[in-house]
Amino acid sequence: MNKVGFFRSIQFKLIIIYILLLLLAMQVIGTFFMKELQDDLEASFTNSISDRMELLSYNLEQAFNKERNEDGEELTLQQEIQQIVDDINIDTAVTSIQVINSQGRILGTNDPAYQRDVGKKSRMPIIENALFFNTFDEDIVMDESMERVYVKAVPLYDSQDNVVGIIYVKALIQNVYDQISDINDIFIQGSILAISISAFLGILVARSITKPIMEMRRQAQIMAKGDFSKKVNVYGKDEIGHLAGTFNELNSRLKHSYATIEEERRKLSSVLSNMSDGVISIDNSGIITLSNDAAGRLIGQNPDDIIGDYLLDVLQLEDRIVDITDLQDSGSLIIDFSEDDEPFLIRANFSTVYDDEDEITGFIAVLSDVTEQEKVEQERREFVSNVSHELRTPLTTMKSYIEALTDGAWENKEIAPRFLSVAQNETDRMIRMVNDLLQLSKLDAEEYPMHKERAEFISYFHQVIDRLEMNLPEQITFKRELPKGRYHVWIDKDKMTQVLDNIISNAIKYSPEGGVIRLKVENKRHYLLISVQDEGIGIAYDKLEKIFERFYRADKARTRKLGGTGLGLAITKELVEAHHGKIWAKSKEGKGTTILFTLPLMNQKRRVKQ
């Protein structure tokens, strides 16, 4: 997680807000204070001028209202006015006074700079407005030296309240503004000092507020990494203190929830890893998000490499499913991954994952290897078909002959015995077939009783061969290759006799005239290897393993002619395996076939099932 810079932190924001609020308050206070101070100083200055002008105006009005002779009235009035102006106690450098009569002539002034203008008419707008419009203004203006001056026109009245003259006052008020400026500078300096102190205090206050928040932030970052061992400090009982306490409680609950989720995740991971079935998780767009090892083994790819791939491409379902949403209706599919002659079938069961609003969020595909299951099912179908075929042939034959006998053939002494003989042979063949099927069924269900005993195999094998050799066709001979010595095995003699009879009988059936059947026993230290080799037509390599299947016959016509059921070698295989041995065949077309099987010797340390 990226570190937050100071200028983007809440601490900096609090300090800025605190200072801005302080600046705003000081600005409002300073503006109001300076405005009021300026108004007060200006009012004080103007009131001071007005007070002085009241006394001056009174004296001047008395001078204007005196009766004078026609010869010296104006001269005497001007001198008197000048005398009155000279007598007033006003600093001429600060306040300039001019007395003007009703005709606009200057009668007197206390400002030496304007003495030359005495007796002349004044052209100032404020004087003209007062004389012609009776407008007596006062104002603060800038003079030639760019200093503020206060100007005012004060009327002088006679006894009938007629304006007989005007006092023009120009007072330097710049000192007032200089004083205000000095006070403003002092205020600004005090404000800067106050802001500096307040900023320092604001930092302390902001840190006291943000410190627990920053601790909670750091703890949240640690919690995001899965570490719930630490807690934040609680510094008080205010809102932030309650927040810190709530945060610690949340930490404890998250720790418990995380532990629970992690335990469930480990369980799920263990289940997925140890499942024999493959599991693939897909999102709603068909992209693989999860796959266990079993799925990788079934589809022949690394489970980590297929994450992010499109499911329909991985399972080769592009031709069967157009859109990924069709999976919710597909249910179960059989996918053929067979290569060459090696069958490999996978069953894919699809289930849909919904969210709280019943929207599809993804799919789960469970893959299982059904090759053996389908193979067993196919064998079952073939077995039923073979049984039906094998039973139909003798039944059809019997039905035909019995119908012929029923139609009158029984009266024919030459034909009837032959028909009955055929029916009896077919009946015997069906009985043998049914007995073989029952024997196989009992062997499959492990219900066939085995009565094993300790037997010396070489002498026992000689007895079996001697019995079969008595009925051996003249054109076929046995060649015995049996070792000398005594080799003891744990066998059921009746069942082993059936095994040897089946193998040797098949060798006799398929041996040509003049053929030799080799009967051989080899000591392989822990077991005996027994083999029976004929010189018959042989079996094709791709069909060699099928001779031990039920109802399989290499030469169906010859076997059926000799009364075979196609179950002999299947029973032989079950009996050999019941004796803890193995059986297989070797053959070359045109050069004969060899059937081999093993039997454990008694001196081998093992547990034998009786």
How far is it, in rounded angstroms, from Cα 134 to Cα 128? 9
275-369: which CATH number, 3.30.1330.80, 3.30.390.50, 3.40.250.10, 3.30.450.20?
Answer: 3.30.450.20
pLDDT in tens, 349-374: 888 888 878 788 888 888 888 777 77
Quote the tokens at residue 442: 């009992």
The encoded tokens of residue 552 equal 């399989």
Query: Which two three-digit tokens encode residue 544?
Result: 């060699």
What's the number of CA atoms in the CB half-sphere (13 Å) around residue 64? 25
Amino acid at 49: I
pLDDT recorded at residue 441: 66
- The more confident residue out of 102 and 444 is 102
Question: What pLDDT, on the 0 to 100 scale, is given for residue 89?
Answer: 67
Taking only the tens place, the pLDDT of each residue in 395-415 is: 777 777 787 777 777 777 777
Two domains, one topology: 11-179 and 275-369: yes
Q: How far is CA 104 from CA 80, 81, 120, 125, 152, in A?
A: 18, 15, 8, 11, 15
For residue 131, give the nearest of 160, 94, 106 by alpha carbon. Answer: 106
CATH of 383-444, one of 1.10.287.130, 1.20.1250.20, 3.40.50.620, 3.40.50.1370: 1.10.287.130
- Of 299, 276, 287, 295, nearest to 327 by C-alpha is 287
How far apart, in whole angstroms, are the C-alpha atoms of residue 496 and residue 3? 85
Which residue type occupies 571?
I
Compute CA distances 245 → 227, 228, 231, whole Å.
18, 15, 9
Q: What is the pLDDT of residue 442?
A: 63
User: DSSP label at 4?
Assistant: P
Residue 592 in this model has a pLDDT that exceeds 80? yes
- Say yes or no to pLDDT of 72 above 50: no
| Separate counts of helices (H) and strands (E) for the chain | 14, 17
Predicted confidence (pLDDT) at residue 547 exceeds the cutoff of 70: yes
- Note the pLDDT tens digit of each residue in 161-199: 788 888 888 888 888 888 888 888 888 888 888 888 887
| Amino acid found at 336 | D
- Using an 8 Å Cβ cutoff, are 293 and 331 in contact? no
Domain boundaries, the chain: 11-179, 275-369, 383-444, 453-600
3-state SS class at 521: strand
Of 269-278, 435-444, 567-576, 578-587, the poorest mean pLDDT is in 435-444
> Could you tell me if 587 and 593 are in contact, meaning their C-beta atoms sit under 8 angstroms apart?
yes
> How far lies 584's CA from each of 493, 544, 570, 602, in Å?
21, 9, 11, 22
State the Cα–Cα distance between residues 538 and 551, nearest whole angstrom.
18
* Least confidently predicted of 298-302, 422-426, 439-443: 439-443
pLDDT of residue 606: 44
CA-based torsion, 202, 207, 209, 210: positive or negative: positive
Size (the chain), residues: 610
Q: Which pLDDT belongs to residue 557?
A: 47
Q: Are 141 and 148 in contact (CB under 8 A)?
A: yes
User: 282-291, 335-344, 384-393, 475-484: which range is least confident on average?
Assistant: 384-393
- For the segment(s) 11-179, the CATH number from 3.30.70.141, 3.30.450.20, 3.40.50.10190, 3.30.420.40 is 3.30.450.20
Specify the range with the lowest mean pLDDT, choosing from 413-417, 468-472, 561-565, 593-597.
561-565
Mean pLDDT over each residue of the chain, to the nearest integer = 78
pLDDT at 520: 93
Lay out the sheet containing 516-523: strands in order across. 477-481, 516-523, 527-533, 592-600, 583-588
Q: What are phi and psi of 209, to 5 degrees?
A: -85, -45
Phi then psi dihedrals of residue 291, to 5 deg? -155, 135
User: What pTM does this model have?
Assistant: 0.41
Q: Give the pairing of strands 163-172 and 95-101.
A: antiparallel
Taking each helix axis from N to C terminus, what angle separates 10-65 and 174-224, rounded to the nearest 10 degrees?
Answer: 170
Question: Any idea which residue has 């003891």 for tokens?
Answer: 488
Domain 453-600 is classified in which CATH homologous superfamily? Histidine kinase-like ATPase, C-terminal domain (3.30.565.10)
Q: Which of the pair, 24 or 571, is modelled with greater confidence?
A: 24
Query: Which pair of tokens denotes residue 538?
Result: 């042989």
pLDDT (mean) for 17-30: 82
What is the structure's pLDDT at 437?
65
Task: Indicate if the pLDDT at residue 348 is higher than 90.
Answer: no
Contact 533, 515 (CB under 8 A): no
* Chain centroid offset of residue 196 CA: 51
